[in-house]
Structures are given as C-alpha cells and as structure tokens.
Chains A and B, each alone.
Chain A
Amino acid sequence: MSELDLTASVPEEALMPHLERQLFERRAMKNGILTALTWAAAILGSIPLFSVIYMLVIQGGARLDLEALTALPPAGFESGGGFGNAIVGTLVMVGIAALISIPIGILAAVYLAVLGPYSKLAGIARFVAKTLTGFPSILAGVFTYAILVIAFGYSALAGGVSLAVLMLPTIVLAAEEAMKQVPQRMTDTAFGMGCTHTQVIWKVVLPTGLPGILTGVMLAVAGAAGESAPLLFTALFSNYYISELMEPTASLSILIYNFSAMPFENQIELAWAASLVLVLIVLAFNILARLVGQPRV
C-alpha cells in the first residue's frame, strides 16, 4: 500500500481545520451583536447635530433676508422686523471680551509654558484654569453682576467682562499647550546666543506657537459668541442699536431666548432665523480656527 491511501482515509477536517471564525459560533455571535450595538450608538449620537441643523435651515432659512439682518426687533403684533442690533451687540461684546481675555490669557500662558512651568504658582494657575473650563457659565454672569452691574447698571461692558471670564481659561490652556510644542532646542539655542527672556519669548516662542495660540483664541471666541446665560443679567437686552458701551445691549442668544417664549408667530420665526445666523457665526469661527491652526507649508 502506498502512503497516498493512508491520508485519504483521514477525515478532511483533521487535515484542514477551519481556522476562520464561524458566523454562528457563540463568541463570534457576541462579537457581531456588540459591533452592531456600537454602530447604533454612533448613529444615535450624531442624530442631535443633524436634526438641529435640519430644523434650523428649514425653519430659520424661511425668514432669513436682508430685512431680518438689519431691521430692529418688532413690537408685539407688528409684522416684519429683524435683529440687526442683536448681531452688532453680540459682535461688540465678543470684541470687548476678546480685548480683555486675549492679552491676559497669552501672557499667563507664557508664564506657564516658558518662565515657570514647574513653580507652585503655575501649578495653582493651571488647576484653576482647568476647573474654570468646567464651570457653569451662569456663574460668570453672577460674578460680573456682583462686581459691575450693582455699581454701574446693565451694560455692554459688563456683558463683555462676563464673556471674558469664560474665554480666559480656554485661551490660557490652549496657548500653553501651543507654546509647549515649541522645540526645546530652539529656545536653548536662542538662550545660548545670549538672548534675554523677553527676546526669546517675542522672537522664538510666540511666533512659533502662533498657529496653535490662534486656534485656541478662535475656539474661545466661538464659544463666547454662542453663550447666553452670562449675558442674561449683565447686558440684558435692548430694542435699539448700541450707541455707547455703558447701556443695556441686545445679543443674538438673548433675543432667541426672549422671542422663542413669545406668543407671536412673527417673533418665533425671527428667533429661528436668529438661531441660524448665530450657528453660522459660531461655525465660521470654528472653521477659521481650523484654517489658522494648520501648520504652514
């Protein structure tokens, strides 16, 4: 007898075992079910964003025209009108907030990243900034109410300060992270050539870290533009264009909040349109953050 016959009598499975997983084996089945579950969860998680955008475009797009963008808010039973003053108010207050928080934030980040990264003060500042990012935004409003509004009344300035409180920690943490990315050998070389701290910071650390810093700033600005809780009792609201910084000022988010609760069809439509504009503004800053953050080739 030849050896060929011997192998032929052995069942084929013993020679060629199934190395691939069978679909209905217990472990493989569990695998499949759980994978399907994560797919479902991922889809469920993205539903809110898409449905919100869909609703905004459908409901808000209908009223979005030049009049809505420039006119003053309508009274009770009036038709037409718009929210031009709220757009200006939002931009002004975010501008004030940026003027306050960007210099302080970047300087603080310089200290955290370059001057004393391991000092006790830096540790405390870092901890404070991290806790502040998780803080309820309305507390920034309460704080500003206590220090500014009680003394000077509702104003655009107070609104800007409360937004600055919210922007500051975001800027500090992002700018510190960006400056830490600057290679150690670059700063070492600069010091080695006899540069002072100031020269190193101005000519090496800040320019090199600039894209990252700008990204943080833009994200903070986008967040502040969409914020409404702190403005509620610092800037209040106004039906007219802003003429000076020390008077109550309209903002998009407060307008949306006020108008959406009104019993008039016209106001509710305007609230939808204002929401769409606000989302577009925030989106624009987010995209800008992406663009400036890309390393230059």
Chain B
Amino acid sequence: MGTTRWEAILKVMLPTASSGLLAALALGFGRALGETMALAMLIGNSNQVSLSLFAPADTLASLLASNFPEAGRVEVQALMYAAMVLLVITFVVNVIGLGVQQYTMRKFEGKK
C-alpha cells in the first residue's frame, strides 16, 4: 500500500508480534534472575543493603553460590529459605512468560 519498510515494521509487524515479544521478555528476565556464576564472580558478595550501584552486593543466586559450600546446619536452613524465595520469584516470572506465550499461540491459531 506504499508504506516504507519501516512503517510496515512499526505499524504492522510490531503490534502483531507484541505479545510474543512480551513473553520472550518475561522468559529472558527469568533467566537473568537465576544467573549465578557470572554474578558470583563479579558482584563482590557483600551481605549488606546498599543503594549504590557501585558497591559490592548480593543476589539471591550469588548468595547461595558463595555461602553454601561452607555452610553449617543453621546456615543451610537460612540458605534453603533464600533458595525457596528465589524459586517462587522465578516460578512466577516463568509462569507469566509461558502464559503470555500460550495466549499468543491460541490467538494466532484462532485467526487461521
């Protein structure tokens, strides 16, 4: 109809694919949440709450990685709790991603 290639991409393709993109976003987000080793090597592993982006910190996964190998009984219990929190968060994010993906598939199958 005389659109440029980019008008076609922005106004037709992106809106149509948006829910699929959203699903990919959620699943990718879930991946990053659980990433362990790259963070454990770089983040500095410090157990404090800090608002600075440049101070050493912790993520749930890196906390597990750095403390589990030499944990005693009580520590293991605490770390198991941290693992459960991580489990719940990633589970929710993943379910949202999968849900959106399923919804997209159904939408496209319905249109055919």
Residues of A within 8 A of B (CB): 21, 27-28, 30-31, 34-35, 127, 130-131, 134-139, 141-142, 145-146, 150, 228-229, 232-233, 236, 253, 257, 260-261
Contact = CB atoms under 8 A, between A and B. Distances in A.
Nearest to B70: A233
A136 B33 contact: yes
A273 B94 CA distance: 36
The 10 closest A-B pairs by CB, nearest first: A136-B34, A229-B36, A233-B68, A31-B4, A142-B83, A134-B94, A138-B36, A31-B6, A34-B6, A134-B30
A228 B37 CA distance: 7
14 contacts: A28-B4, A30-B6, A35-B5, A134-B30, A134-B31, A134-B94, A138-B61, A138-B64, A142-B64, A142-B80, A228-B36, A229-B61, A257-B37, A257-B41
Contacts of A228: 36-37
A139 B86 contact: yes
B40 A127 contact: no
Contacts of B7: 27, 31
A136 B86 contact: yes
A233 B83 CA distance: 13
B4 A27 contact: yes
- The A interface, classified by DSSP as helix, strand, loop or mixed, is helix
Contacts of A30: 4, 6
Contact of A145 (B4, B41, B68, B86): B68
Q: Which of B5, B83, B87 has the most chain A CB within a 10 Å cutoff?
A: B83
Contacts of A232: 65, 68-69
Contacts of B4: 21, 27-28, 30-31
Nearest to B40: A257
Contacts of B41: 257, 260-261
Interface in B3-60: 4-7, 9, 27, 30-31, 33-37, 40-41
Contacts of B79: 142
Contacts of B65: 138, 229, 232
A228 B7 CA distance: 45
Nearest to A143: B83
A150 to B, nearest CB: 8
Q: Which of A34, A135, A229 has the most chain B CB within a 10 Å cutoff?
A: A229
B76 to A, nearest CB: 8
B90 interface: yes
Given A229-B61, A257-B41, A260-B41, A131 B91 contact: yes
Nearest to A138: B36
Given A27-B4, A146-B80, A257-B41, A138 B34 contact: yes
A256 to B, nearest CB: 9
B90 A134 contact: yes
A229 B31 CA distance: 14
A269 to B, nearest CB: 17
A156 B29 CA distance: 31
Given A28-B4, A30-B4, A232-B65, A135 B98 contact: no
